[in-house]
Structure 1
Amino acid sequence: MDLKQLEHFVAVAEERHFTRASRRLNLVQSGLSASIRALEEDLGGPLFIRSTRRVDLTPAGEVLVEEARRVLAAARDARHAVTQVHGLARGRLRIGAIHGLAPFVDLPASLGQFRAAFGGIDIELTLDGSRALIDEVREGRLDIAFTQPSDPQPDDIGSRMFACEGMVIVCSTDHEFAGASELKLSDLSEETFADLCPEWSVRRLVDRSFAAAGLQRRTGFEVNDIPMLLELAAQGLAITMVPESVAAARVRDTRGAPVATATLCATEEPCWELAAFFKGRAGEPLTPVARAFLDLLKLPDVVA
């Protein structure tokens, strides 16, 4: 049993699904399955109850998951402590990100924590589109980029997945879709959409989903701001599609007009993914500064 196997186990335990866990870990599913089987053989029994739609923890798995989280956290803390002893007294951390990372990552707070721990490191932050950010990582102009995975991912770029969730429909509370479930994309094709601008990865994901289904849709409102996007839906001017946690945060917000949500059937629901990208392989960035920042974020244990 090693740390990598425990990381794989925790990902499957939290996702309750091997495919989603493999995406989160940036690992082929066959490799993830082999890692879990080896761990189960080492521990002398099954850790998961597998079914066609999901996996659940066995009693042994329930016991292991909390211990595994504790061990992984201790390993990160140990590495962070050694990094501080070795000293990152001087240097530069260059971060790139797409707009709208919250609520997945509170980047300003994380950068503040990093500055408190490593006061001698200069910090630079750039906001841009997904393609530009990946290019800047490849060319060495950024240490880390927080964005949606590209397809295919470049061979010389490593990543750590930290969000993988479904997209939901947001509409006004009196819309016919309010509270609906198991909708199909074809049910939405006659609606007017509020969309983000084409360079946003959320927009590209929605566009690709409709194109793959052979459907067209009408964009009536195009904005560059997620709060505005959701407010247009709240006012009944259009419907929109956003990641589930973004919609949930807007539903809880009592300051604006209320919104409702609806869900798509599982076979047509787009999967919104976010990852940290960096120069390196096997989940480890090349530079000590980038490694220290990712350790501070504790990305491998973030529930998607």
Structure 2
Amino acid sequence: MDTRQLEYLVAVADELNFTRAAARVFAAQSTVSAGIRSLETELGATLFERDAHGVRLTEAGRSVLPEARGAIEAVERMRELTDEHGPLRGTVRVGIFTNLTTVDLPGIMGEFHRRHPYVDLRLGPSPSGSTGLVEDVRQGRLDIAFHGLPDAVPDLVTRPLVDSPFLVVLPEGHRLAGRSSVALADLADEAWVDSRAGFGNRVTLDRAFQALGLSRRVPTELADLGEIPRFVAAGLGVAALPELTIIPAAGTVLRPLSRPVDWRLSAIARKRPGRAAEALLDLLTERIGSS
């Protein structure tokens, strides 16, 4: 058994597709398949079920996957310990939000690359928002992720970055558009456009309604926060979004809440995240936290 076989196991488990897993580990699909078969032979257990419907982890595969992740991380830490004063190397996998309009994420990542040119970056969002990103970090699929849920994540390292107030997004001509501020209670009976369940901004807003003893109806859900104002402009409902995520759209007006509600953006990582991930956490705190 070698670490490359374990990397194949983790990649296939994450992707549930041998072609995508092979691309991720920069190997031929036949090499990944052979590595998995060899590992299954050595362990005396089938790790994946393969049929016309796709690839699935077996019970044995689910059992050994956390150990495989831990072994890979241990090897990475050993390499870091023997090269403590050398340049940072490796790969940092980062879960991001795509609609942080006031955060210069490309600029931050460009600065990180200039500081640490031997570290590769893999960035991407989650269709489940903060909830999915937290689970991806917890399961070792990501090293660092943005996090916008109101609850603390005690088993992970958390770096608070910035607080952003919610602004109400109304269509022009709405009955409340002429007000200087809007109360959530005045919007309880409206149709809403919002992100999908599990996104941190939606969880935060739902709790604000619950604290008032109110509920709301969300007939239109989107995975892309940046598109929400355009759907409001089209007459599908009202919205409220953290200010730093809003991409203004023609045909809408923005108003503050009369009773402010804040959304906190944080970065999360596993305990003992590694030198490269720690360096990126520090840079995110430095650049976003002071902005």
Q: TM-score range by the shorter chain?
A: 0.5 to 0.7
Conserved? CA contact 1:147–1:275, under 8 Å: yes
Conserved? CA contact 1:181–1:264, under 8 Å: no
Partners of 1:117 and 1:147 in 2: CA distance: 25
Q: Is residue 255 of structure 2 the alignment partner of residue 262 of structure 1?
A: yes
Aligned pairs, number:
206
- How much does 1:196 deviate? 1.5
Deviations 1:8-35, CA, capped at 9 Å, x for gaps: xxxxxxxxxxxxxxxxxxxxxxxxxxxx
Conserved? CA contact 1:171–1:234, under 8 Å: yes
- How much does 1:90 deviate? 2.3
Deviations 1:239-285, CA, capped at 9 Å, x for gaps: 111012334x51xxxxx52421222222xx322111011234xxxx6
Q: Is residue 80 of structure 2 the alignment partner of residue 93 of structure 1?
A: no
- How much does 1:97 deviate? 2.2
Change (3 A) 1:166 1:207: same
**Cα RMSD (Å) of the superposition?**
2.6
Deviations 1:15-73, CA, capped at 9 Å, x for gaps: xxxxxxxxxxxxxxxxxxxxxxxxxxxxxxxxxxxxxxxxxxxxxxxxxxxxxxxxxxx
Q: Is residue 137 of structure 2 the alignment partner of residue 146 of structure 1?
A: no
Partners of 1:175 and 1:137 in 2: CA distance: 41
- How much does 1:230 deviate? 0.3
Q: Return the index of the structure with the highest Cα Rg.
A: 2
Change (3 A) 1:150 1:245: closer
Deviations 1:199-221, CA, capped at 9 Å, x for gaps: 32222222222223221222232
Conserved? CA contact 2:162–2:289, under 8 Å: yes
Deviations 1:158-185, CA, capped at 9 Å, x for gaps: 2221121211111123222225245322
Query: What does 1:1-304 correspond to in 2, within 5 Å?
Result: 86-100=85-99, 102-128=100-126, 129-149=129-149, 151-154=151-154, 156-247=155-246, 249-250=247-248, 256-266=249-259, 269-280=260-271, 286-299=273-286, 302-303=289-290
Conserved? CA contact 2:182–2:256, under 8 Å: yes
Q: Secondary structure at the match of 1:277?
A: strand
Matched with 2:58 is none
Structure 1: which 5+ runs fail to align?
1-84, 251-255
Could you state the TM-score of these two structures normalised by the residue count of structure 1? 0.60
Change (3 A) 1:245 1:132: closer
Partners of 1:274 and 1:116 in 2: CA distance: 25
Conserved? CA contact 1:181–1:262, under 8 Å: yes
**Identity over the aligned pairs, expressed in percent?**
33
Moved more, 181-190 or 291-300: 291-300
Structure 2: which 5+ runs fail to align?
1-83
**What amino acid is aligned across from residue 278 of structure 1 in structure 2?**
A
Change (3 A) 1:216 1:87: same
Change (3 A) 1:228 1:149: closer
